[in-house]
Copies of this chain bind each other. A is one copy, B any other.
C-alpha cells in the first residue's frame, strides 16, 4: 500500500506534514504501508531525520515547484508540471501510489482529481463531503460541500448513495440515515431541486432515506448523511467551521465546540473517482496530516471506492 503525500501543501508545510507522518507511523506502522513524499528534497531530508521518521517507511519523490494557495487551479496545474500536486497526480494516475493526500490548493486538488483520475463508472458527478460533529459524540457526513454548485436531482440521489457507503465503511455506521437538506419537514417543501429530489431519494432502495432535514438539524442526530447541492453545502460547512473560531475568540472551552476544529477530521475525500484523493484544510497541522493518512488507509483497506461503484450501479 503506497500512499502519496504532498509535503508542500498547506500553511504549515513541510514542517507539520513531516510531524504528521511521524505521528501516524508511531501509532500505525504496519508492514505493507509505504509513504511516498512529494516535495523539496533539501527541505524534507533534514526535517525527516530530525523527527526520526523511520527511513524504510518512506521514499522522497523530489519536486521543484509548489502551487500556492491562491493560484488559479487549472492554470497552475498546467504550468507547474513539477509541482508536488501535479507530480502526485501523475504518480496516482500511473498506479505508482494508491492514494494521494494534500493540504494544498483545494481547487488544484479538485481539478487534479477530476482530470487525472477516472470517474467511477456510472457516477455522474464526483463529490466532496465534510464530517459534521454531532453532540452525541458521533459524526455526520454532509455532501456536496462545494464541488458541484449547481445540481440536478439525480446528482443528489447519487451523493446520497456515495455518502451512505462512505458512512458505512469508514465511520462504521450500519444502515446510515439519509436526510435531504431542505427548508421544511414535509415532502413537497423546498426549492425546485429539493422538491424533485425528494421522491427520487424516497424510492431509492440503496439508501435509508428519512426525509427532509433543516438547518437546525445540521448539528442534531436526525441524519447520518445529509445531502444538498454544493452551494448550500459549502455555506453550511464554512459556517460550521466559523463556530470554532467564534469559540476561540470568545474563549469558550467546551468539549463539543472544540470538535468544530475541523482539523481533527483530517480532510475530505473526493468520492466518485477511482482512487482515494484526500483534500486537507490549508491550516492543517500534524494531527490533520496523520488523520488524512488514516482515512486513506481505511479507504484502501475497506475498498470503499469499489463499494461506491457497486452501489451507484445498483441505483
Contacts and interface: CB of A to CB of B under 8 A. Distances in A.
Given A250-B256, A254-B250, A257-B252, A235 B181 contact: yes
B135 A235 contact: no
Contacts of A33: none
Nearest to A235: B215
A243 B135 CA distance: 12
B218 A183 contact: no
A239 interface: yes
A230 interface: yes
A192 B192 CA distance: 15
A303 interface: no
A238 B257 contact: no
Question: How many copies, total?
Answer: 2
Nearest to A229: B191
B242 A218 contact: yes
A194 interface: yes
A256 B249 CA distance: 10
A296 to B, nearest CB: 26
B239 A194 contact: no
A231 interface: yes
A214 B240 CA distance: 12
Contacts of A219: 239, 242, 246
Contacts of A234: 183, 214-215
A27 to B, nearest CB: 30
Contacts of A220: 242
Interface string A217-244: 1111000000011111011111111110
Interface of A: 135, 146, 149-150, 181, 183, 190-192, 194, 214-220, 228-232, 234-243, 245-246, 249-250, 252, 254, 256-257
